[in-house]
Amino acid sequence: MTACGEATPKDPDITAGRTVFGNCAPCHGREGEGGVGPSLHSVVETFPDCETHLRWISLGSQRWKDEVGDGYGTNNIPIKGAMPAFDTLSEHDRRLVAFYERVTFGGADPETERAACRLTETPPGS
């Protein structure tokens, strides 16, 4: 049984985000546990707002260094690895994966994150 507002496996945004997350799993692990890339279990603490999280996904580590600085997240974590820019994904797909990571691995409230990641808006082409 799920609590009111809790995302379930049947949530279409979770399902779609999980599919897009397939691009991230080789480095971050299928369960967000980390590997080559860091664990995503503290993603909400690292990126308290979805828009900054989205910017990180879009820019990747090198462009982030070039455009923002040598650290990322609320604690200005030094960038050590090489995360690719996922700017080739559609904006909607980047929003879906950020939502998925924030809810599934970060434990954030689904409805709060759905609004913060702007998934309540109609996607392009719909």
Tens of pLDDT along the chain (126 residues) come to 334 344 555 899 999 999 999 999 999 999 999 999 999 999 999 999 999 999 999 999 999 999 999 999 999 999 988 999 999 999 999 999 999 999 999 999 999 999 999 998 655 554
Question: Can you give the pLDDT at residue 59?
Answer: 97
Question: Can you give the pLDDT at residue 10?
Answer: 85
Residue 7 near residue 14 (C-beta atoms within 8 A): yes
d(CA 32, CA 40): 5
Residues in the chain: 126
How far is it between the farthest Cα atoms of the chain? 46
